[in-house]
Amino acid sequence: PKKVYLEDLNKTFITAGKDKVVAVNDINLKIEPGEFATMLGPSGCGKTTTLRMIAGFEMPTKGNVFIGEENVANKTPDKRDTAMVFQNYALFPHMNVFDNIAYGLKILKRPKTEIKERVERILKMMKMEDFSERVPAQMSGGQQQRVSLARALVMEPGVLLFDEPLSNLDAKLRIHMRDEIRKIQQNVGITSIYVTHDQEEAMAMSDKVIIMNNGVIEQQGTPQEIYQRPINEFVANFIGRANILDGQIESFDGSDVIVNIYDVKYRAKANRRFETGQKVHVVIRPEGVIVGKQDFTVKVEKSVFMGQNHEYGVDFFGTNIEISENNPTGKTIYRIGEQMGIGFEERALHIL
Ligand code: ADP
Ligand code: MG
């Protein structure tokens, strides 16, 4: 597997009306060999453009793309040691599965026996031996996407690229396929760069999540880091659900703060410096709110039993906060209109 390094990468499109669109705005990014890295962000934030610059389908306006030790910024896609899996599968409709997978190796003029051996090995790994004679129209979307993945893997590229490969599949199959892709990626140990707008998919698959917005990287880190320590409100709201509360710093001792939230004081971890008296925003996830604690009395506005958890919406000083009480069986259920006592779990508080 190869590492990937993007250096000051920029792509500005000039539209037909001569408008400039900065799709990717000076991105710097390092992806380690064998890592599964996911670019996650809303539609239009520049994910596909970044991926296409790594693949060589799009030339950067500025900046460099290193694959391994080599700067490939000016190389054509076939000289980059990458392979891409597309949302629409992009299979040849008139070719059967075997020939679709074999296509790239034939272009490289590999010996027939080697092609047969490699294609059969991949078909076996993907448990698709019985499909080799079928053409794409004779297969479901999920099966076609597995062929598309097999076609990329058979090339044994240094880096595998995915652009929303599961978006055309139904919800259940999407979950099955993401587990399968992750398992294969770990078995093969291949560096993978994956693009999605689905935060759950990103969390479930990735070693590293890269949150993008408006052509820039907002934050990168492990799924846990991004979820537990979002750097700003955009990231907090994009990954999972976030309640964002107003608070004020009472004191800061170098590692912890005491933060005042509507006259209740909490101790929280500080990952930067704070000044006494400073106004801050505090992120608390729905599962970090403790039902039954008496720090605050709030009015229930939503009360939904979901099995694994009970979801509440309550009015908290004029804003709504979401609460997810885990394992609710046997606990008091509060109905809409009732009063409920709540508090916040200190280790779940994150100060922005
Ligand atoms: P994403 O994949 O995150 O949805 P894209 O990378 O496709 O985003 O697009 C980023 C921005 O660049 C968008 O504003 C999009 O409209 C614009 N864009 C993408 N491709 C072109 C193009 N060929 N010409 C002009 N604008 C483009
Ligand atoms: Mg896209």
113-to-105, 154, 192, 210 alpha-carbon distances in Å: 11, 14, 28, 41
Per-residue pLDDT band for 227 (boundaries 50, 70, 90) equals very high
Q: Residue range 303-323: average pLDDT? A: 95
Share of the chain above pLDDT 70, in %: 100
User: CB 67: neighbour CB atoms within 10 A?
Assistant: 24
Evaluate whether 201 touches 166 at the Cβ level (below 8 Å): yes
AA identity, residue 133? E
Residues of the chain by 3-state class (helix, strand, coil), percent to 5: 30, 40, 35
Q: How far, CA to CA in Å, does 315 sit from each of 26, 64, 73, 236, 320?
A: 42, 50, 53, 20, 5
- Would the pLDDT of 172 be above 90? no
Q: Around Cβ 330, how many Cβ atoms within 10 Å?
A: 6
* CA 50–ligand 2 middle distance (angstroms): 9
Q: What is the CA radius of gyration of the chain?
A: 25
Closest ligand 1 atom, residue 15 Cα:
25
- Res. 251: pLDDT tops 90: yes
Q: Is 14 a pocket residue for ligand 1 (Cβ < 6 Å)? A: no
Angle CA(244)–CA(194)–CA(101) in degrees, nearest 5?
160
What does the pLDDT look like over 256-297, one tens digit per residue? 999 999 999 999 999 899 999 999 999 999 999 999 999 999
171 phi, psi to nearest 5 deg: -55, -45
Indicate the average pLDDT of the chain: 95
Residue 17 has pLDDT above 90, yes or no: no
Q: Which atom of ligand 1 is nearest to the CA of 215?
A: 10
Contact between residue 203 and residue 209 where contact means Cβ atoms under 8 Å apart:
yes
Residue 88 confidence (pLDDT):
86
Q: What is the mean pLDDT of residues 72-93?
A: 92
Tell which residue, 253, 305, 249, 255, has the closest CA to residue 275. 249
Can you tell me the ipTM of this complex? Answer: 0.99
Residue 2, ligand 1, Cβ within 6 A: no
Query: pLDDT value at position 327?
Result: 86
21, 45, 87, 193: which to mutate for ligand 1, most atoms within 8 A of CB? 21
User: What is the pLDDT, as a whole number, of residue 228?
Assistant: 94
> What are 209-219's pLDDT values in tens digits?
999 999 999 99
Average pLDDT over residues 14-38: 95
How far is it, in rounded angstroms, from Cα 188 to Cα 345? 41
120 C-alpha to ligand 2 centroid (Å): 32
Q: Which helix H or strand E contains 185, and what residues bound it?
A: helix 171-188
Q: Which helix (H) or strand (E) holds 343?
A: strand 339-344
pLDDT band at 118 (very low <50, low <70, confident <90, very high): very high
Q: What is the reported pTM?
A: 0.91
Q: In the predicted model, is pLDDT for residue 126 greater than 90?
A: no
Pairing label, strands 4-14, 62-67: antiparallel
* Beta carbons of 226 and 71 less than 8 angstroms apart: no
**Whose Cα sits closest to atom 22 in ligand 1?**
13
| Four-residue CA torsion sign, 36, 127, 80, 61 | negative
C-alpha span between 15 and 168 (Å, rounded): 28
Q: Are strands 36-40 and 191-196 parallel, antiparallel or unpaired?
A: parallel
The DSSP bridge partners found for residue 9 are 27
Residue showing tokens 């052509």 = 215
The pLDDT-based confidence of 169 (bands split at 50, 70, 90) is confident
Task: From residue 328, give the alpha-carbon distance in Å to each of 74, 170, 259.
Answer: 58, 30, 29
pLDDT of amino acid 329: 85
